[in-house]
Structure 1
Amino acid sequence: MTPREASEKEAGAPPSLGIGMVGYAFMGAAHSQGWRTAGRVFDLPMRPVLAAICGRDEDAVRAAADKHGWAAAETDWRALIARDDVQVVDICTPGDSHAEIAIAALEAGKHVLCEKPLANSVAEAEAMVRAAAEARSRGQLAMVGFNYRRVPAVAFARQLIEEGRIGRLRHVRVTYLQDWLVDPEFPLTWRLKREHAGSGALGDLGAHIVDLAQFVTGESVVGVSALSETFVKERPVLDGASAGLSATGGTRLGPVTVDDAALFTGRLSSGALASFEATRMAAGRKNALTLEINGERGSLSFDLERLNELQFHDHTEPAPLSGFRRILVTEAEHPYLEAWWPPGHALGYEHTFVHQARDLVEALAAGTDPAPSFADGLQVQRVLAAVEDSAAKSAVYTSVPPPSGTSGLSGTEG
């Protein structure tokens, strides 16, 4: 027992939980907010401590540490994993490094939280699931970060479906539309390179909507028929690389090797039909994620731009009363809301990461498997792979391998 742990035990305070995070950009900032805030809102059985943050640029990672409240900064993720004050390794890096870092952290006896998509390929995701299963026998736990599960309205939608409020499912429609790639002069960043990102809008946005469809319905996608497109084939290069470049008017261009947009239909394990759209080329749409589920007894509809609301239609009501009604999901009885503000006081995007941190800490303290598990992340990866395979064959229907064992398509709210 360390002096700090002895002092905490004597004072009756919850034991500390040292967090080490790899990556410090957009997702790093969001995860920092979650870790920094969770213990100040919820009564947690363990107290998250921001022990160390890691990035390759020493000046930039030191600035991120100072800005977000991390006690130390590292420039080598291996050094971060080796730290005695780190019990959880949080991975917020591009997808090409997820498997290596996660497997090394689990083998070193650390718990792991890994951002979505779990990996860049099914093979990498399978290796991560095997490592997580082996680590589980030693007491280490692993979770993948699908933060939109933690929107209270989304968690409430799942609850209503579990209760049978809309009956047998018939249709699921999910879209995720952004426009940050509409400008052909947007530079060739890592998200536009297959070797780093794995895929484009499909992995970046499609992973979210596949997970949401499976989470809210409690079912698996069993097959897909897909189309994808890369609208801008080349983009300006900023890093000075020369391989595979062309020149137009003095601008050095490099090939875009991922999709700009993906459209696919699918079938769920119950036989319900589903449609999905993911694009970063929808002019005017900034972060437009929508979900609608139709059942034999009613429907549910969610829009991330109105994330404190859920639309619910009860089709068993008399026709004069029938129609969608708005539910403001801010009551203490709604998922995650018991510790926040009085009813009617809205939450935002950043709160999903607070809820994610809370769920993981509670699972670690209880020794229970957190959700979504690495196996859940693998199931999403298999759907994405089937989408790519179908799109390559001009929308040929492609089956998705079933979940391996108990994948844990389970809720996150107890």
Structure 2
Amino acid sequence: MANVAAGEVSVRRMLPVISASTIGTAIEWYDFFLYNFFAATIFAPLFFPNLDPITGILASFTTYYIGFIARPIGGAFFGWFGDRVGRKSTLITTLFLMGAATVLIGLVPTYASIGIFAPLFMAILRFLQGAGVGGEWGGSVLLSLEYGDNRRRGFWASWPQTGVPVGLALAALALLACKAIFPGDAFLQIGWRIPFFLSALLILVGFFIRTRILETPEFTRLKQEQRIAKAPLGEVFRHHWKEIVLSALLRSGEQAPFYLFTTFVLSYGVTTLKLSVNTLYTGIIIAAFLSFFTMPAASYLSDIVGRKRWFIIASLAMAVYAFPFFLLMQSKVDILVILALVIAISICHASLYGPEAAFISEHFGARLRYSGASLGYQLASLTAGGPAPIIATLLLATYHSSVPLSLYILLMAIISALAAWGLREYANREAQGDIDVVETTVPAPATDAS
């Protein structure tokens, strides 16, 4: 990142970049979280009506998991695209893929209308959603990272991460609004489809913003020097396999708990604890709002104290909170339930999720950064985030206790701390340099850098 190493970039210069990466990311996560929420609450009776409630939820979570299987595939494909063609054009492509899949989900007939084809179509569209998200993250983070300066790399790279709580809050608000407008059976018949259709408008907003930014300075420099990698996937696996594996493990302590706090908790809270779904969504919305501020704050602190030290401390905090979280939930007192979700999401999760964008990305040189960072980040969705609600549902059905759930979070947090210890420290330093391999470097494909 030599172009900005010598000094700090201005907020004025970064504002349009942050806006383009964060707003686009928020739209894509709105799409992704809509499916998560409905999978945890109403998709079982609509698409798996012949199954008992627990099996129906598991089947619904399985189609939900398909999106997580697709994320590393999308990360690999669009990572290759982003390292060969550019960050900007890749981000526009993923935005449209995600939006189209989401709108089509709103059009899928239920099991009562077309039988087994209903969950089959949902699975296909969920896969496309996952592929879009898989390619989105790397580009949005690199957009901020490669425009920013070294001293505040964690802070700048954290802004696309805030797209997650924004998308989470928008999805929850859209769901609650449609439940209010379409009460009772009307929501199951037509109301649940409306939030998916709204995605079309959001995609147009994201497209308008993203077409008005320039390609990142680092990728532009690589093009000018004709140092674009010919086979970025092969090269990144050959030279950075250890960083990819550690990056995936690093995310265990935020990925698995996050999908317990935002997806599993809906079925657990309503079915097991008999809590009001409005209370749960209120807690999630408040936590998401606060996360918009706590993520950049945690990332700013990681620039000061170091990424490794911060991540290990935050992982241990997540481990400690694993048991109090379920105790607060089991109190069944609305304010304590909301407090449980706020602490879990806006403090414990945000402290990990904000800084990890820079922590992962700075381990890869610019030539391979989109591929390497995307693979490391998205593999965790396959190993930790995706299976978390399924594992939690099985643990609860087997042991009828929250203790195994707390132990599961504890284990994931310890894995994160160990992975952080194994990675290098790049805070306030030049990021990982490129490994120059002459035979794999070719002129960039023709593309518009504007």
Same fold flag (TM > 0.5): no
Normalised by the length of structure 2, the TM-score is 0.27
Larger relative strand fraction:
1
* Structure ranking higher in helix proportion: 2
TM-score normalised by L of structure 1: 0.29
